[in-house]
Amino acid sequence: MKKYISFIILISSMLFLIGCSNKKQEYLTQYITVDLKPIIDTQNEILDEYEKLTQNKSIEPETMLNALDKSIIPKSKNIIFSLEGIHSESAEITRIHKILVDGYKHQFRAFITFREGLSTDNTNVIYYAEKLLDEAKKHMSDFNNEVEKLKNLN
């Protein structure tokens, strides 16, 4: 997931360096470099924290629950709130933005579900949370592909 977010940053840098040749490109540049920038930064923090916790095989469930409750889940909820506040004059940006919002909502549900599975010690629920994360990754990948298509419309 982190590489997908890094890819978004790479795309935004490329767009910034290339410059805007038309209105659609201007909308896309605004969307990536201004609207999404703080969200990407927060997302990277969430993913770093989550990755560190899940890679630590000796972590206590209480520690993981505490991180989910006090940091990961609230920050994820704030990202969704921020994303839902972004609007574009471009129908294309609006369309791909919906893909991104859906991806973040899947990720948020995955964290909530993971928390539920962890608190009840239910591995089936934890596996389901992993599937939700996979779906979120698919949405992020789809989003990145659509951004590439828009970028190349010159």
Q: Which residue has the higher pLDDT, 1 or 123?
A: 123
pLDDT band at 10, cuts 50/70/90? low
Q: What is the pLDDT of residues 127-154, one digit of tens each?
A: 999 999 999 999 999 999 999 888 887 5
CA gap 98, 35 in Å, rounded = 14
121: left (phi over 0), alpha (psi -120 to 50) or beta: left
Burial of 81 (0-12, 13-18, 19+ CB in 10 A): exposed
Structure tokens at 122: 């239910």
Contact in structure between 40 and 10 (CB atoms under 8 Å): no
pTM for the complete prediction?
Answer: 0.82
Domain count, the chain: 1
Domain hosting residue 31, numbered range = 2-54+62-151
For residue 79, give the nearest of 117, 112, 111, 39 by alpha carbon. Answer: 39
